[in-house]
Structure 1
Amino acid sequence: MTRASAADTPDEQVEPGEADEPRAAAKPPPPAAGRRIFADLTPLRTSADYRRLWVGNTVSWTGQAMTALAVSLQVYDITGSSFAVGLVGLFTLVPLIVFGLYGGAVADTLDRRKVGLYSAAGLWALSFVLAAAALAGFHRVWLLYGVVALQAVCGALNGPARSSMIPRLLPPEQLPAANALNSITMTTGTTLGPMLGGVLVGVWGYQSAYVVDAVAFTAALYAMWRLPAMRPEAGAQPEGVAGAGGRRRRASVMDGLRFLATRPNLRMTFFTDLCAMVFAHPRALFPAVAVVWYGGDAKTAGLLAAAPAVGALLGGVFSGWQGRIRRHGLAIVLSVAAWGTAIAVFGLTRNLWLGVLFLALAGCSDMISMVFRNTMLQAATPDAMRGRLQGVFIVVVAGGPRLGDFLAGTVGQAVSPGVAIVGGGVACVVAVGLLAARWRAFLRYDARDPHA
């Protein structure tokens, strides 16, 4: 399971399809002292559209995280193989790459609200498929692989449309706060989801987690349905893109990739995240680690899966300071290096609670990186390209962990989980250091003068 309407207030509601263009929310007063420490809630107060989207996504993320853990546990229960669990990530990788890029082009061409609504309906239906199969006692690995692949298709279409809406719902100065709140959405879901999923699976079976997910996803559907129309803005294409100069035409995936090829700072936001998610992402090893290292069960695996989200949630709650940071590139490099270090130390521990602590530290570091990567992507990308760049973003942030699942599962099965986790953390730190040395201008990126 993670970025053109009127931003209405509680006294001025806009019905779905009533308007094409948003009015930027009023610029808020300077933050009070308390908000310099805690998360800034200004976007939730100034935009009812954003508020509904945030609440719906928070509820649905919890259900999706429950399903993700339940699928991994079910595959491991059927096969007894970490490699088979890693294949769950591989079966979602290709659809994410293909449809993530295509979904971004769709979001730049069609009404983003409709794209988000229809793809969310597909995710909702697939949750019912998993629930029905589990209730019928139809436990087949191929079905699980097939459903997660189709979920990846729907998610790849939904993500770019949903994320590219936010800069049109909120003014630029509220984007860091909105991204911190979005991180709370994801981490709240991935904190509660695995814990609840582990308990539900352990007590009532896989079907209970799938049914709760299907019900919870209605919140996201409602939020999408309430949004006004969000058609593409009329105007010129960015410089360097075919068709620039004011001519309106269908958005092209290749145009988005060509645009990205000329923007080194945006490329670095993707490269640094890949270092963390491909090399140092031990999620596929949690079922085996829970049993072999800690003598635990599904609830232990759920605790391990939830620990990074707990750290990220705490980072989001105490995110008020992030609005004062201007060197976003430097912050990203440091936080990715901190993630890799924490993962490597986790691989050296054999005490459950110490391991949970380092996983939580890793999650906090990842949250900081995500906030600044999202803000850079939104601030330095013109609206005509936001869908396509968000499509690339979805491929990286969703496809990277799945490739990391496959790599960790393969190395863990071939050598040992400890070697896979420690080696991956060290590789992450080395790789992000080499990238920073190669593109030093990224370290000097200043949010007051955003250049891609």
Structure 2
Amino acid sequence: MKTLLRHLSMDLSPLRDSRDFRLLFGSGMITMFGTFLTLVAVPLQMKELTGSYLAVGLVSVAEFVPMVVCGLWGGAIADALDRRKIILLTEVGLCLTVAILTVNALLPEPQVWVLYVVGALSAALGSLQRPSLESLMVRVVRHDQLTAAAALSAFRWNLGAIVAPGLSGLIAAWFGVAVAYGINVVTFLLSLVLLWAVRAQPRSEEAPEASIGALVDGVRYAVSRPDLMGTYLVDIAAMVFAFSTALYPFLADELGAPEALGLFFSASAVGSMIASVTSGWTRYVHRHGLGVIVAAAVWGVAVALAALMPTVWGIFAFLAVAGAADMISGIFRSTIWNQTIPDEYRGRLAGIELLSYTSGPMLGNARAGLMANLGGTRFSLGVGGLLCVGAVAAMAALLPTFRDYDSRTDEHAVRERARRADAEEATTA
């Protein structure tokens, strides 16, 4: 039993061994709560100001293009410039955007246009920051701890996704959106203190200047690596065919349980949390490509089975299983990226990953709505899950390099492991 618990328990070694990882992890925990405050407060304030469903929905539309464009460009500058400096500057910018929202909320007549403009600006800054943040995270932990670091980062996200929205909703409802924005400003200031203490990492000597050419070169590198393309394509296929949160309100109504809507939305995060807490076994896995394929297939099967469940708790259980499978897929995908991508490409490929990460769920909800119009809610949910399984099986057949990836023998993993070992030896010498 002790051996089983040791294999399942989360590997905390990156937190024990790396001061800079602790600082980045703590900063992420703080800003996650503050960010959820704003994510809840903005649509709430828009609803209060306009009473329009369309106006609330257009906030996400305003954020989408800056998020995509700046995510790609953020990857280019992450490879070309000082990543720590980019993170600090964008964190200051994000703090200022929330300060503007606070001032606007305190006006006698808050302006609607401010929510759209600041929402777009905040999405742009967040997308500029993320590639540098992910690239820096890899630099501050040992190569053999990359899987554990990915699991810890996922745990942080899932904890926030479960706890923060409820607390944020209560704060915004009880004390008003201005207080919610103000608390977020404070969280950014606390985060800045932690980020300032992170040591700067030397820029790669092979890093290119930020340019369109550098972006194209990053895309070309990704396309030349079937193992990397597999991580993107399998995730996009899984999200397009089986991501269906747009169906949850209709599903709750059909069950005569509108109060179950919150349960459906939280189910995935609950499953992901359980998977991340018991993720210690993942450090013993070396066939990460096959792990992604199996996890993505389980995600699709679980969604299809959720469509067959006659009760709220049956649906909740299978959506939680789907969330757990998605979490394991994410850990293995992150491990492949972190183990094999050269440092000079890491930022640009993080930008590509951001594009795949954001587009898949949006396209998935669009697919879910169209299929529901054709055959109903459960038809869309169930057939979507089965299509996911089929698409993942096709990817596995078409991408043997991805399917057969083994961190012990893959040429890119071996090369990167040797490079990092040499760098660590030079640092300690």
Residue 101 of structure 1 and its aligned partner are, at CA, apart by 1.2
Distance 1:410 1:129 in 2: 38
Distance 1:421 1:122 in 2: 40
Q: Which amino acid aligns with 1:335?
A: A
C-alpha distance 260-397 of structure 1, shift in aligned 2 (>3 A): same
Residue 203 of structure 1 and its aligned partner are, at CA, apart by 4.5
Query: 1:40-439 counterparts in 2 under 5 A?
Result: 40-71=11-42, 81=53, 88-134=59-105, 136=107, 143-201=114-172, 203-204=174-175, 206-207=177-178, 209-235=180-206, 249-250=209-210, 252-286=214-248, 289=251, 293-296=255-258, 301-349=261-309, 351-408=311-368, 417-439=377-399
Residue 52 of structure 1 and its aligned partner are, at CA, apart by 1.1
Secondary structure of 1:217's partner?
helix
Distance 1:430 1:265 in 2: 19
Distance 1:137 1:431 in 2: 53
C-alpha distance 291-152 of structure 1, shift in aligned 2 (>3 A): farther
Distance 1:159 1:327 in 2: 27
Residue 79 of structure 1 and its aligned partner are, at CA, apart by 5.8
Q: Which amino acid aligns with 1:253?
A: L
Distance 2:154 2:255 in 1: 30
Secondary structure of 1:50's partner?
helix
- Mean Cα deviation higher: 158-167 or 117-126: 117-126
| Structure 2 residue aligned with 1:241 | none
Give the TM-score, by structure 2 length.
Answer: 0.83
Unpaired runs of at least 5, structure 2: 413-429
Residue 173 of structure 1 and its aligned partner are, at CA, apart by 0.3
| Structure 2 residue aligned with 1:5 | none
Distance 2:51 2:90 in 1: 31
C-alpha distance 400-286 of structure 1, shift in aligned 2 (>3 A): same
C-alpha distance 197-342 of structure 1, shift in aligned 2 (>3 A): farther
Residue 137 of structure 1 and its aligned partner are, at CA, apart by 7.6
Distance 1:73 1:407 in 2: 27
Secondary structure of 2:258's partner?
coil
| Structure 2 residue aligned with 1:7 | none
Q: Is the 8 A contact 2:24 2:137 kept in 1?
A: no
| Structure 2 residue aligned with 1:39 | 10
Secondary structure of 1:108's partner?
helix
> Alignment identity in percent?
36
Q: Which amino acid aligns with 1:325?
A: V
**Residue-by-residue CA offset, 1:175-225 (whole Å, 9 max, x unaligned):** 001000011011111111223234445555555544444433334323322
| Structure 1 residue aligned with 2:424 | none
| Structure 1 residue aligned with 2:425 | none
| Structure 1 residue aligned with 2:427 | none
Q: Is the 8 A contact 1:184 1:313 kept in 2?
A: yes
Q: Is the 8 A contact 1:58 1:185 kept in 2?
A: yes
**Residue-by-residue CA offset, 1:29-85 (whole Å, 9 max, x unaligned):** xx987542111111101111110110110222233234435555666785675x776
**Residue-by-residue CA offset, 1:211-269 (whole Å, 9 max, x unaligned):** 4444333343233221122342214x7xxxxxxxxxx6556111101111110100110
Q: Which amino acid aligns with 2:70?
A: F
Distance 1:115 1:221 in 2: 12
Q: Is the 8 A contact 2:249 2:258 kept in 1?
A: no
| Structure 2 residue aligned with 1:440 | 400
Q: Which amino acid aligns with 1:397?
A: Y
| Structure 2 residue aligned with 1:8 | none
Distance 2:121 2:366 in 1: 18
**Residue-by-residue CA offset, 1:100-126 (whole Å, 9 max, x unaligned):** 111011001111001111112222333
Distance 1:356 1:270 in 2: 27
Q: Is the 8 A contact 1:92 1:399 kept in 2?
A: no
- Mean Cα deviation higher: 414-423 or 380-389: 414-423
C-alpha distance 165-50 of structure 1, shift in aligned 2 (>3 A): same
Q: Which amino acid aligns with 1:316?
A: S
Give the TM-score, by structure 1 length.
Answer: 0.79
Q: Is the 8 A contact 1:311 1:364 kept in 2?
A: yes
Secondary structure of 1:94's partner?
helix
Unpaired runs of at least 5, structure 1: 1-30, 238-247
C-alpha distance 406-440 of structure 1, shift in aligned 2 (>3 A): same
CA RMSD between the two structures: 3.2
Distance 1:65 1:38 in 2: 28
Q: Is the 8 A contact 1:49 1:227 kept in 2?
A: yes
- Mean Cα deviation higher: 262-271 or 200-209: 200-209
Distance 2:47 2:319 in 1: 22
Higher helix proportion (structure 1 or 2): 2
Distance 2:142 2:248 in 1: 40
Secondary structure of 1:229's partner?
coil
Q: Which amino acid aligns with 1:269?
A: T
